[in-house]
């Protein structure tokens, strides 16, 4: 049947090209019109595939040669050409091949006095001009001059013809040569005057399409630098800004407002970022002859050929923010299979034996150590005890609609090990100094001496106790808020700072000690030994005091319609109406004097010189508006996303607007409901110490600040532009001290103090815990390595053999410093592994865990987003890491090499990351077959064999972890990811299950957490659920004893029952949505973006249909007869009246041809 339909269509098209019979041509045109009047664009694409465009162009050439022209044939032919041509991507090329450009221009000139016919010609001219090459040819041949005769001067006569002419002109101006020609001939100023006339006279808003069409013409002209300069010289900014203000009150004028706003943003005068240099304020001398990233300097002028077009390389983790291209996939099977030789001498691997002491453990000594530990605990029993702390359980599933933190799981069923989760945390002496005891008997001797040397090397400049930056700058504020009755006990030092010991002591008296696994004393002690480039002398209050998850998860922020354009217009107002612009720098890392000078009255005070802090400069724009600039990564000029800073001296209930103006990514989850996080010191002291999601009117868009970076592969410069993250915040208290951050901060000192507390609270009889130093970082900070497993049941041979033969799991995190969510997931993993949860106990008996919880300590400490102190992305150094520049990667890889060399390669390797542009938690893995299939390569299954076990763990996590989504996972191996951890460990160590786990900063697209912004508790839960997944993987993949299987089955049945109950309570848990729901408005970033595509097709179709409806049965004022209107009804009647007899041979329209119209409904195309 389909063949008959195709044959019938081809007969129609062939006859249309060859026939000279008017009735035959009209019949064919009528049939084609009916065919294409229903359904979607698929029918038109089908006609195009059968040569429909060529047939119509040939028929047009024949009809145009007829004297006088037969409009009864010509008009339906032009309509069909317009409808078919706009969906034919090669239509411009076909027009050139048929030499039809001159024909179309000739017909247009011939019908200048007949507006109905002219309108039809303009539709085809518009479609032809959509091809840049054809549009350029038409421009050379005088098409623009012809169109300007139609649209000028301003007149409301023949508005359909004017609308068609403006549409054709906009299509012509997509060609940059046409745009230059238009500027040189003064058309830009004429378009501005014409737009003003239509705007001023269209009081009833009846001509929106004409006004928007004129704006599209301006939009395309200003894609070139000459056009932007002329637009500014013609006062275009003022004209459009004023006209937009008149339109804001009417929602029907959104198309006009959106287009005008885009032009204003694009034509805003370009500036360099208001900093001394785009390179980081911090630099670090590299060892040897290594050099940091070279400065990226270049000419200041715009390149006209590029306009604002960008070739931005987007840096995120394992993943690309934009859609991955198949050309990046590795299709060389030999490379996918290769096992490269060692990147170091084999004898070097022997030194890593010391990091695997569990394989050679003398448990006689360990028992002695445990007794010492017990006696130490006995000695500390007399100390004041903090409340017991709850270690997250794998069975802690929260109610989806009422997410109260720490909710008892007994509401959903009995928890057999609930009492075992309570682990006493020994407190500290409040009167003692907060200095870490270097003689703690349970510390590793080597690490002890290392830490001691580490702190002693600091010298006199760092011998002080840290100050709290949020409190020390204003003693009066501190005394009033904290100790209104004890002001005399707090004496400021000569420099205006409070005595640190008094401050810490008084604060600890305030601290209730109810934050699980956090000790301000431990934190301050650890922070004192941290080495940073700025030489931090102050602590951020949230890190010192601690974070307690809020009582409920916050839903995604609903985005107000038109928010982006409102923010852009507000920025443009600075240029047009600068009267209220202050422009005062209130904080600048590059100017030390700004850090100590008192703030101006009514001005906010900023600070960021603390661990993980990042704010380079703050400029007060208006009374309640500030531009903020982030610092680049150390020894770099790029990677701006992470921010963490303090703000003080605010007024309450006043909306402050903050604009972070040097973001680099093309898009952000801030456009899809994500909020930043805020911590209030006053709220913390009132018993609510927590980071909370905050901010309203959040928007992310391209701005006018130039961004320069080295072009790939050459020494030149490729120009880009920064993006603005804007948000408004109402602070809860007057004169509070608040902290704002991109995501929940998790500092290096937080991690180190957390490890100290975990070690103190573990059960040494059940948990084997060993903390060692993997290496020293470039900055001189120790990178910890943890070994966690279960103690052997006894000292008999079988138990010791079982202990040593346990498979390894190797976990790493925080290779990218700005991905603090990865650390929160790792925190959940660690707390679960050392807990007394029955599943955790079973898991420890199954595996030996090697964990590097922070691969990039220096980057985290110094507030970097992506790089280490060398200016390198450490997750791109795994192929050939340098022992000098990338020590943590070099030694982590060396340890993996060692395990592989002794036949103990990990069963699972997983690198924890965060993803800034996607929702959910998901895994990236490695598969040869899936990569080849995705690239379209033929896969010989007899030659290419592969164990599909890499999919088992993701499938398990999809079932047990509420935040995990299997559909978001990918197992492709890309060329650009060849030097990442997961690919190198997969290829060089032969680890089948080598993964990157990505955690969203934002929310989940379905399930229990759908529509909710993830908090620290959900991230920690993901860490514990990952452990549960490992246990199930072990049971599925490895041989187990009957006793182990029975115990696991009992526990997992309970886990499944509780999880099922929670999922049944979630009414929408089974409903999936797109990973990236559409924004409330189009996010127009690219200057070359336009209304092309299906929307423009529909607009032209609508224009054609409106014209036909209006002329149907009417007589044009130019004297057209009724028979010349060629309405669709007249054509249909003409087709019926001229239908030949069945025996006629004049036109081969048999049953198959007539059935074509009906058969199209079920056509397989």
Contact by Cβ (8 Å): 910, 980: no
Determine whether 998 is an active site residue.
yes
Cβ neighbours of 888 (radius 10 Å): 27
Burial class (CB in 10 A: 0-12, 13-18, 19+), 995: buried
DSSP code string of 870-915? TS-BGGG-SSS--TTT-HHHHHHHHHHHHHHHTT---SEEEEEEEE
Contact by Cβ (8 Å): 747, 330: no
Sign (positive or negative) of CA dihedral 130, 131, 136, 139:
negative
Place of tokens 């300007």: 148
Place of tokens 């090499």: 897
Contact by Cβ (8 Å): 619, 586: yes
Cβ neighbours of 142 (radius 10 Å): 11
Paired tokens of 997: 């786990």
Paired tokens of 286: 């590299």
Q: Identify the CA nearest to 617 among candidates 607, 628, 602.
A: 628
What CA–CA distances, in Å, run from 125 to 771, 889, 1091?
Answer: 74, 61, 18
Burial class (CB in 10 A: 0-12, 13-18, 19+), 908: buried
Q: Please, where are the H alpha helices in 730-883? A: 748-761, 797-804, 820-833, 838-846, 857-861
Strand 691-694 and strand 584-588: the pairing is: unpaired
**Residues paired with 974 in a beta bridge:** 329
Q: Identify the CA nearest to 919 among candidates 745, 1072, 1030, 1026.
A: 1072
Contact by Cβ (8 Å): 1104, 83: yes
Task: Find the helix or strand (DSSP H, E) in which 921 lies.
Answer: strand 921-924
Paired tokens of 927: 């598969």
d(CA 647, CA 676): 14
Torsion, Cα of 195, 198, 200, 205 (10° steps):
-120
Q: What's the distance, CA 540 to chain centroid?
A: 27
Cβ neighbours of 210 (radius 10 Å): 22
Paired tokens of 900: 């592989």
Residue 739, helix vs strand vs coil: strand
What CA–CA distances, in Å, run from 705 to 372, 547, 620, 885?
Answer: 62, 36, 17, 33
Q: Identify the CA nearest to 701 among candidates 888, 541, 517, 568.
A: 568
What CA–CA distances, in Å, run from 6 to 50, 192, 662, 1020, 1145?
Answer: 8, 50, 56, 60, 20
Place of tokens 């604060």: 507
Contact by Cβ (8 Å): 702, 543: no
Which of 318, 330, 998, 1055 does the annotation list as catalytic? Answer: 998
Paired tokens of 804: 């040593």
Contact by Cβ (8 Å): 1033, 847: no
Secondary structure of 37-84 as H, E, C letters: CCCCHHHHHHHHHCCHHHHHHHHHHHHHCCCCCCHHHHHHHHHHHHHH
Which residues are catalytic, by number? 998
């Amino acid at each position: 049947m389909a063949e008959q339909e195709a044959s019938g269509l081809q007969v129609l098209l062939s006859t249309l090209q060859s026939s000279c019979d008017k009735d035959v041509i009209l019949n064919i045109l009528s049939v084609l019109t009916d065919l294409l009047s229903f359904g979607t664009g698929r029918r038109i694409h089908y006609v195009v595939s059968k040569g429909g465009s060529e047939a119509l162009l040939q028929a047009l050439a024949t009809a145009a040669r007829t004297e006088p022209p037969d409009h009864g044939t010509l008009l339906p032919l032009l309509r069909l050409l317009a409808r078919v041509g706009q969906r034919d991507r090669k239509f411009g090329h076909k027009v050139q091949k048929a030499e039809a450009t001159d024909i179309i221009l000739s017909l247009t000139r011939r019908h200048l006095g007949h507006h109905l016919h002219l309108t039809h010609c303009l539709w085809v001219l518009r479609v032809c001009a959509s091809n840049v090459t054809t549009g350029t040819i038409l421009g050379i041949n005088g098409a623009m001059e012809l169109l300007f005769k139609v649209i000028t001067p301003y007149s409301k006569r023949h508005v359909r013809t004017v609308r068609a002419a403006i549409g054709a002109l906009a299509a012509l101006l997509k060609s940059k040569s046409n745009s230059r020609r238009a500027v040189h001939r003064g058309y830009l100023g004429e378009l501005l005057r014409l737009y003003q006339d239509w705007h001023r006279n269209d009081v009833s808003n009846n001509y929106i399409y004409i006004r928007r069409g004129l704006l599209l013409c301006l939009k395309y002209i200003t894609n070139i630098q000459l056009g932007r300069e002329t637009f500014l010289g013609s006062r275009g900014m003022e004209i459009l800004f004023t006209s937009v203000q008149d339109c804001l009150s009417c929602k029907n004028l959104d198309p006009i407002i959106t287009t005008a706003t885009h032009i204003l943003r694009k034509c805003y005068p370009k500036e360099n970022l208001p900093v001394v240099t785009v390179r980081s304020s911090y630099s670090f001398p590299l060892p040897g002859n290594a050099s940091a990233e070279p400065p990226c300097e270049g000419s200041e002028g715009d390149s006209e050929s590029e306009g604002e077009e960008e070739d931005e390389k987007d840096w995120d983790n394992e993943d690309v923010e934009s859609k991955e291209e198949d050309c990046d996939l590795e299709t060389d099977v030999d490379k996918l299979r290769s096992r490269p030789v060692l990147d170091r001498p084999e004898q070097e691997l022997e030194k890593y034996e010391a990091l695997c002491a569990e394989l050679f453990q003398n448990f006689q000594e360990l028992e002695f150590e445990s007794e010492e530990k017990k006696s130490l605990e006995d000695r500390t029993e007399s100390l004041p005890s903090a409340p017991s702390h709850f270690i997250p359980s794998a069975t802690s599933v929260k109610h989806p609609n009422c997410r109260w933190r720490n909710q008892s799981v007994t509401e959903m069923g009995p928890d057999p090990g609930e009492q075992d989760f309570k682990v006493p945390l020994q407190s500290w002496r409040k009167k003692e100094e907060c200095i870490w005891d270097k003689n703690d008997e349970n510390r590793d001797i080597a690490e002890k001496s290392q830490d001691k040397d580490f702190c002693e090397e600091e010298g006199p400049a760092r011998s002080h106790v840290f100050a709290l930056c949020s409190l020390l700058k204003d003693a009066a504020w501190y005394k009033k808020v904290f100790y209104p009755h004890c002001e005399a006990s707090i004496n400021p030092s000569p420099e205006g700072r409070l005595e640190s010991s008094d401050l810490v002591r008084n604060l600890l008296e305030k601290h209730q000690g109810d934050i699980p696994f956090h000790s301000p004393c431990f934190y301050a002690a650890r922070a004192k030994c941290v080495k940073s480039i700025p030489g931090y002398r102050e602590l951020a209050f949230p890190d010192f005091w601690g974070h307690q998850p809020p009582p409920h998860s916050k839903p995604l922020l609903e985005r107000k319609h038109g928010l982006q354009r409102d923010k852009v217009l507000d920025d443009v107002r600075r240029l047009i109406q600068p009267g209220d612009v202050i422009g005062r720098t209130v904080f600048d890392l590059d100017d030390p004097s700004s850090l100590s000078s008192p703030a101006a009255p009514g001005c906010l005070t900023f600070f960021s010189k603390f661990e993980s802090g990042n704010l380079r400069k703050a400029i007060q724009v208006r009374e309640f508006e500030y531009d903020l600039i982030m610092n680049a990564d150390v020894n770099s000029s790029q990677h701006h996303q992470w921010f963490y800073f303090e703000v003080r001296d605010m007024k309450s209930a006043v909306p402050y607007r903050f604009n972070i103006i040097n973001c680099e990514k093309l898009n952000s989850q801030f456009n899809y409901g994500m909020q930043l996080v805020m911590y209030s010191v006053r709220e913390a002291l009132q018993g609510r110490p927590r980071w909370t999601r905050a901010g309203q009117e959040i928007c992310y868009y391209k701005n006018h600040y130039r961004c320069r970076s080295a072009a790939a592969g050459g020494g030149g410069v490729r120009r880009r532009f920064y993006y603005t993250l804007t948000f408004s915040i109402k602070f809860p208290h007057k004169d509070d001290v608040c902290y704002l951050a991109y995501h929940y901060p998790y500092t290096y000192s937080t991690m180190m103090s957390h490890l100290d507390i975990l070690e103190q609270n573990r059960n040494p009889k059940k948990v084997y815990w060993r903390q060692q130093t993997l290496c020293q970082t470039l900055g001189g900070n120790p990178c910890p390595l943890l070994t966690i497993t279960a103690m052997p049941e006894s000292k008999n041979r079988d138990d010791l053999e079982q202990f040593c033969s346990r498979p390894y799991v190797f976990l790493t995190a925080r290779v990218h410093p700005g991905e603090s969510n990865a650390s929160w997931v790792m925190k959940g993993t660690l707390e679960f592994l050392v807990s007394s949860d029955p599943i955790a106990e079973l898991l420890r008996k199954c595996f030996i865990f090697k964990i590097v919880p922070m691969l990039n300590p220096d980057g985290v400490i110094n507030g970097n987003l992506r790089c280490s102190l060398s200016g390198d992305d450490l997750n791109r150094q795994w192929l050939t890491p340098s022992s000098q520049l990338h020590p943590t990667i070099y030694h982590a890889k060396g340890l993996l090499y060692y395990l592989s060399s002794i036949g103990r390669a990990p069963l699972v390797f997983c690198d924890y990351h965060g993803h800034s542009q996607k929702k959910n938690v998901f895994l990236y893995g490695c598969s040869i077959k899936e990569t080849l299939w995705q690239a379209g390569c033929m896969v010989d299954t007899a030659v290419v064999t592969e164990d599909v076990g890499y999919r088992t763990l993701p499938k398990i996590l999809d079932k047990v972890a509420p935040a995990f989504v299997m559909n978001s996972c990918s197992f492709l191996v890309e060329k650009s990811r060849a030097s990442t951890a997961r690919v190198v460990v997969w290829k060089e160590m032969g680890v089948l299950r080598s993964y990157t786990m990505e955690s969203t900063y934002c929310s989940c697209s379905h399930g229990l957490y759908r529509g909710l912004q993830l908090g620290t508790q959900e991230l920690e839960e993901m860490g514990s659920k990952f452990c549960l997944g490992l246990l199930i993987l072990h049971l599925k993949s490895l041989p187990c004893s009957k006793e182990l299987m029975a115990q696991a089955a009992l526990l997992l049945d309970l886990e499944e029952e509780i999880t099922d109950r929670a999922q049944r309570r979630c009414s929408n848990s089974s409903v999936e949505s797109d990973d990236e729901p559409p924004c409330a408005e189009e996010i127009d970033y690219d200057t070359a973006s336009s209304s092309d595509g299906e929307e423009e097709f529909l607009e032209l179709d609508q224009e054609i249909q409106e014209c036909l409806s209006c002329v149907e049965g009417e007589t044009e004022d130019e004297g057209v007869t009724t028979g010349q209107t060629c309405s669709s009804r007249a054509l249909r009647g003409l087709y019926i009246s001229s239908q030949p007899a069945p025996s006629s041979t004049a036109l081969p329209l048999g049953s198959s041809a007539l059935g074509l119209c009906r058969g199209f409904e079920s056509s397989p195309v």
